[in-house]
Amino acid sequence: MVLAKSFGASIITGTITEIVKILLLKTTGDPQKTILYSSIFSYIIAYIAQRYVFNGGRFFGLSFLKYFAVASISIQLYSWALDKILNISAIKNKLNDPKLSDTMKKVYQYSLINLTIFVIFICVDFPLRKYFIFVKNKEYDYFISYIMYLVAIYIAIS
C-alpha cells in the first residue's frame, strides 16, 4: 500500500512541478529564477506528499529539520551548477544565436535545468535522502542537520 501511495504521490508532485517549471520559464524567461522557484516549490510539495504517504507524524519535527537541511544545500547547488553550465561558451553561443527561435531557446533552457537537477539529485540529494533523511539515528540527526545548515550558509555566502 505504501509503495502504491508513494508512486501515486510521485507522479502527481512530479507532474505539478514540471508544469510549474514550464510556466515559470515561460513567464520569467530566466532559467536561474526558474530553477530556484521551482525547486523550492518542488521540495515543499514533496515534503507534504511524504508526510501523507508515511502517515504523518509531527509536520515540523525532526524529519522536517533533516529534509530542509538537504533542500537548502541542494537548491543552492542547483543554481550554482546551472550558472556554471549557462556560462560555458558553447552553450552561451547556442542560446544567444539569433537564428534560434524563442521557443527553441526555452526548450534548451528547460533541458539544461532538468539536466542540472538530475545530476545534483543523483550525486547529492539521493544519497542524502537514502542515508540521512530516511534513516532514524536521533543521536546524530540534530548534529548532522546543523552541520548541513552551516554548509548551506557557506554556499550562500561564497
pLDDT in tens, 145-158: 999 999 999 988 98
Closest to 149 (Cα-Cα) out of 71, 77, 83, 79: 71
Q: What are the b/e assignments for 46-76, b being 16+ CB within 10 Å?
A: bbebbbebeeeeeeeeebebbbbbbbbbbbb
Amino acid at 60: F
What is the value of pTM for the model shown?
0.88
Split into its structural domains, the chain has a count of: 1
Residues with Cβ within 8 Å of residue 119, at least 6 apart in sequence: 81
Print the domain residue range for 18: 2-157
87-136 residue pLDDT tens: 999 999 999 999 999 999 999 999 999 999 999 999 999 999 888 888 87
Confidence of residue 61 (pLDDT cuts 50, 70, 90): confident
Which three cell numbers, joined as nine digits, stand for 146?
Answer: 546543523
pLDDT at 54 over 80: no
Kindly state the average pLDDT of the residues 14-21: 96
